[in-house]
Chains A and B, each alone.
Chain A
Amino acid sequence: MSSSVPLLTSTTRRRAGSTTLRARLERIANAAVTPLVPADYLDLFNPLRAGAELRGRVVAVTPETADAATIVIRPGRDWAGHVPGQYVRVGIDVDGVRQWRAYSLTHGPRPDGNISITVKAVPDGVVSHHLVHRVQVGTLVHLEQATGEFVLAPEVTDGPATAKLLFVTAGSGVTPVVGMLRNLFPVTDSGVVRPARSAHLDITVVHVAPSRPDSIFIRDLEALDAAGAIHLVARYDDVHGLLDVDTLGDLVPDLGERATYACGPGGLLDALETHHAARDLVLYTEQFRPATLVVGEGGEVTFAGGASIETDGATTLLDAGESAGVLMPSGCRMGVCFGCVVPLTEGSVRDLRNGALTTAVPGETGPEGIRIQTCITAAAGPCHLDV
């Protein structure tokens, strides 16, 4: 058409040729297995292959305390790696139902390519109890790529100057910190190793727990302390009483020189924020447990388009949505046809036929929410529908 179009070089031509061949083969494969896709068949034989949806296989479960365990997972080929301190969202089937939770990665990148999470069984924790007490080696789990901002800045880990850090951990808040520490100070058969890249770090860890036996990773922290890698200040409620954040300066005399990384329950983090803000200190935090959801009768239902409506516990979400002017998919209006199913991304709903509750927690439930039948469910507290 035009002489200004550059001629293809032989390499680009070859590449273009191979991609069209590949595309052609893909088209044939797709045509051969429609309405499925080739991946549906490949998954039968190799679910961890490159190009597959990200999954992992449990390769070891090691108890840490009576109610905590470390789960080692071999991730699929497309696992992109992580930075110590990050977390991963894990989808696992408990009693046949897929549940998603976020857990800190408790090792730095390992030579065997596996990843690990350490889980403490929390009261009523469906997933944590399953992972700590029931999960079998060989189980396939679903994964998302590692994420999270609670990581050491590169200038801290790679910087030449001495870096003074303070970690404040409470309960299972210790897990991302252990991930960071294990990466900085690997453990070998002969003990803790202090590699040159970590030599400039001066780390204090204030670890808060109800009691020593309740502390996950306490032996690891004590070993690091004994090896001189960190300075551990353990505070147990049963020995020292509840920690008053205002006394932190007594526990860590050079508090003012340190950058603080804190992970634990909301109450502790809030107190630290107030404390540090008053003294103009640097604080990075990570909170694990999301705010508890309010479960009640009825509530405010919000929709993806921005509409919202206040409903009672007897009005179906379908009726509520329609009266708010939302174009709701619908069908039999009696729970039979599943034509009204939409994702619940936050909040609780109640099945009006038998009272069963379904709860979606952002960040915990699957990325696409939980699909619910709007014609037979009502709001049980504030909730959000993705429609």
Chain B
Amino acid sequence: MTVVTKKDENPVAHLTPEDIEQLGIELDAIRQEVLDTRGERDAAYIRKVIDAQRKLELGSRAVLLASAFPPAFVAGTIGLSIAKIIENMEIGHNVMHGQWDWMRDPKIHSTTWEWDNASTAEGWKHSHNEVHHTYTNIVGKDNDLGYGIMRVDEDQRWVPMYLAQPVWNFINACFFEYGIAAYDLELGKNLKTPKDRRPESFTKAARATLGKIRKQMTKDYVVHPLLSLPTGSFLPTLAANFTANLVRNVWSHSVIMCGHFPEGVETYEKAAIPERETRGEWYLRQMLGSANISGSKAMHFMTGNLSHQIEHHLFPDLPSNRYAEVAPKVQALFEKYDLNYHSASLPAQVYSAWHKVVRLSLPNGWLETTTKDNLPSQLKMLWAMTTGDRKVRRVAQLRLEQQARRLRAQKKADVERVA
């Protein structure tokens, strides 16, 4: 992706400022419709989900007490994985968004909720709710774009280190909760700062996060395995807990990558965002900066309804169980204003996101210009760019881009000729 403003064809060029404000008014009306009908059924829904999740977790952990017995190990691991996913996605993420604050139940409230995750509720609410949801897809401001460790945009200069980013991304997926915790703490930036100049807020937050991680680890890797000791199930329970955390991490990483990362999702340049963005402009940025996952009801539930990422980004405080009914209305608005409603199946979106990770791990244009026939010479060039100095890289990069441009022009001409 390239920031919207630098694209050959700006996807919002056809909208006048009046159109954008009208769009905002129409989206506000959709939001209001949900608010007007929000009530007992919604409250019953979240209570039921919390109740079921707790029973599933309790049941799975009880089964794991005898996990030396293989069927118990399998059932318990599957149950615990699902319980952890629901706890993180449909419950934790959404409660901490304030989606259920309207119930005025102090126990199901954004100010009191704490989740089964390495990052503290407080840290996550800041980095996610505040930074990511306000500055969605603004390169340099929204660190969700690659969590600061990856090249996510053509506009970021390529350096050889990025060749390893598919590996990085895989490791990040496996230990995603720790990646998020590090991201909440802005660990990279803060560790580079000399110890005596690190802000006090960082030291405090780091201590809280370490405390949280210790508690989470003690629970999963000490207490529950020890409780399973009488049946000789210490190691199986430990393995089951590790697996459940791994499954949860890979799943949530996949879902979250699908939200903003697939090909075709727009990014924005900091300088191009008006100082006082109007509600309509903000809505528009959320619309083009997010992507949905299509699928079954069960799939939507297991993603915490983040499969309705577009609707979630437009209305982050509406109860998640209502996104599905809002989606057709939102999609109709996309059509009305001739915008691209980005939605595809989970495998398609995951492939697309991973493809982008791989593509951007290589210099711009490299993948585009590589064919079976020129592979040896392309690899030679990549080798030269990796081992060479800045100048070598620049020259090679220019050549690649020129080649890619020529290819694109040719393709376009071919299409026109056929038409």
Contact = CB atoms under 8 A, between A and B. Distances in A.
Interface of A: 28, 31-36, 40-41, 44, 93, 95-99, 331-332, 334-339, 341, 353-354, 356, 366, 368, 370-371, 373
B215 A97 contact: no
A337 B133 contact: yes
Contacts of A93: 40, 43, 103, 105
A311 B143 CA distance: 37
B103 A341 contact: no
Grouping DSSP codes into helix (H, G, I), strand (E, B) and loop, the A interface class, with mixed when no group exceeds half, is loop
Interface stretch (B106-114, B165-173, B385-393): B106-114
Contact of B316 (A32, A40, A99, A336): A336
Given A97-B102, A98-B103, A353-B28, A32 B227 contact: yes
Nearest to B120: A35
Contacts of B129: 331-332, 336-339
B405 interface: no
A199 B317 CA distance: 62
A341 B316 contact: no
Contacts of B134: 331-332, 334, 336-337
B126 A339 contact: yes
B103 A35 contact: no
B104 interface: yes
A35 B133 contact: no
B40 A35 contact: no
B84 interface: no
Interface of B: 28, 32, 35, 38-44, 51, 54-55, 58, 97-98, 101-106, 109-111, 114-116, 125-126, 129-130, 133-134, 212, 215-216, 218-219, 222-224, 227, 282, 316-317
B110 A338 contact: yes
Contacts of B103: 93, 96-98
Contact of A371 (B109, B115, B126): B109
Contacts of A44: 51, 54-55
Nearest to A35: B114
Nearest to B121: A35
Contact of B125 (A31, A95, A97, A337): A337
Contacts of B98: 338, 341, 373
A370 B104 contact: yes
18 contacts: A31-B215, A31-B223, A32-B227, A34-B219, A96-B39, A96-B41, A96-B42, A96-B43, A331-B129, A336-B129, A336-B134, A337-B129, A338-B129, A339-B125, A339-B129, A353-B28, A356-B35, A373-B98
Nearest to B51: A44
Contacts of A35: 114-116, 212, 215-216
Contacts of B316: 336
Contacts of B223: 28, 31-32
Given A34-B215, A371-B101, A336 B58 contact: no
Top 3 nearest A-B pairs (CB, nearest first) are A96-B43, A338-B98, A337-B129
A141 to B, nearest CB: 13
Contact of B40 (A95, A336, A353): A95
A28 B405 CA distance: 64
Contacts of A96: 38-44, 102-103
Contact of B317 (A31, A99, A335): A335
A354 B317 CA distance: 14
A183 B355 CA distance: 77
A41 to B, nearest CB: 6
Nearest to A342: B111
Contact of B133 (A28, A40, A336): A336
B97 A338 contact: yes
A334 B265 CA distance: 24
Contacts of A331: 126, 129-130, 134
A277 to B, nearest CB: 41
A63 B130 CA distance: 50
A32 B224 contact: yes
